[in-house]
Amino acid sequence: MSRKPKSDPGRGSEAFDAHYRALFGERWPALEASLLAEPDSIPFRAGPGLEPYFMDSASIFAAECLELPSEARILDACAAPGGKSLVLASRLGPGSSLVANELSSDRRRRLRDALDRHLGPEQLGRVTVAGRDAAAMCRSYEGAFDAILLDAPCSSERHVLSRAKARGDGRAPSEWSPSRIRGLALRQWSLLSSALIMLKAGGCLVYSTCALSPEENDRVVARAAVKFGTRLVFERPAHPDAETTEYGVSILPDRASGAGPMYVCRLRKLSAES
């Protein structure tokens, strides 16, 4: 007689709840409720008279944290669905250009649509859409960019909970597992390492995610601190609702009027002689 396999205690809704309760303690129920609530969404216009793009105010903040020289080559390394690229395009100086890169062809179509619909002709003319693997781009673009935004693929717990709720799965999908966090953290590190190689000396890089776990945020940045040593300077951008972390700031919806989650760390790369 065959036996029904036991459920994996490290997977599913209960494991999800236990993982984030361990991180946030008594705060978790309120934070979880805020993640399930209607997300923050405000209209962003890349210029006067242009069609608004609705996005989380914390996402706008992340893109605005990237400091852009007046004449610069900018990279949005993981650009889809396009909101942060719109923010960057709206801030380009007259001698600057933006590469909006997205590996996924489906997401790249969404990115192109967002740029076409929400940018003016002059802005659009200074934006190039690319389809490279940003983790491997450093082989061809070492030191090629003056500023880089890396909004890395992440666990995106808000979307996980929303999708589960819509499907009637409960508070989280039955297939959730901490191994997904570990896998994403490895991918995030490969992306950040590549981005720092592509960044010029003196350049600015913003690393951001919409993840809650330190494994995908500070711990990824910590690896960069070890690899690049004193060549990196870390900054915590100012935001009225930001909570300080070791290397950056975190904006969480239960304490930021629904905005976030958004982790943001700003890095500066010094020359080898510095």
Annotation says 210 is catalytic: yes
CB atoms within 10 A of CB 98: 26
The four Cα atoms 180, 186, 189, 191 give a dihedral, to 10 degrees, of -80
* Active-site residue, from 65, 78, 210, 265: 210
Catalytic machinery residues: 210
